[in-house]
């Protein structure tokens, strides 16, 4: 015989309430709440929203983005193209030591390919970037 869940009194299996405490008896425990099935459409919407947000942030970053000077690449300094490796190349033979017009020894550098001082930068290979004024940004 079954017992009342409230007072513990014996109850008839066909009864709808307990005679001792007048508690209404249900047929078994209440059913669990229905679980929601995972909806692939919901996941697609969430992933699509995240991708859209990332794309918008990337576009905004590129538009507003970095204002790095393109000429000096943010360093604020430009290097002489003639003597950037520490040697000042002869402008006539371009460092080869041979005169390109006469195919003989370069008369300006005596075949060494190097001049005493760079003719372009006058011995100062590094200077402040003229584009950004040395700040490194536009």
- Judge whether residue 29 has pLDDT over 70: no
The alpha carbons of the chain give a radius of gyration, in whole angstroms, of 44
Instruction: Let me know how long the chain is.
Output: 138
Residue 27 has pLDDT above 70, yes or no: no
| Residue % of the chain over a pLDDT of 90 | 7
What is the Cα–Cα distance from 134 to 128, expressed in whole angstroms? Answer: 5
% of the chain exceeding 70 in pLDDT: 82
Contact of 80 with 125, CB cutoff 8 Å: yes
Residue 18 domain-assigned (yes or no): yes
Range of the domain at 18: 1-28
- Total domains in the fold of the chain: 1
Highest mean pLDDT among 9-18, 82-91, 104-113: 104-113
Largest Cα span, the chain: 127
Helix (H) or strand (E) holding 5: none
CA distances from 110 to 4, 55, 87, 100 (A): 117, 60, 16, 13
The reply to whether 15 falls in a domain is yes
- Specify the pTM: 0.36
Q: Is residue 108 part of a domain?
A: no
Q: Residue 86 falls within a domain, yes or no?
A: no
Q: Residue 49 has what pLDDT?
A: 94
Which of residues 30 and 71 earns the better pLDDT score? 71
Q: How confident is the model at residue 48 (pLDDT cuts 50, 70, 90)?
A: very high
């Amino acid at each position: 015989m079954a017992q009342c869940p409230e007072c513990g009194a014996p109850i008839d299996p066909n009864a709808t309430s307990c005679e001792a405490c007048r508690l209404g008896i249900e047929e078994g425990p209440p059913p669990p709440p229905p679980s929601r099935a995972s909806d692939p459409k919901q996941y697609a919407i969430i992933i699509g929203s995240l991708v859209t947000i990332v794309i918008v942030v990337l576009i905004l970053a590129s538009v507003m983005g970095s204002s790095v000077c393109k000429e000096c690449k943010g360093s604020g300094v430009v290097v002489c193209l003639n003597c950037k490796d520490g040697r000042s190349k002869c402008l006539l033979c371009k460092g080869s030591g041979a005169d390109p017009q006469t195919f003989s020894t370069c008369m300006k550098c005596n075949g060494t390919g190097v001049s005493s001082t760079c003719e372009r930068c006058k011995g100062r290979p590094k200077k402040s970037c003229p584009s950004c004024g040395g700040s490194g940004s536009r």
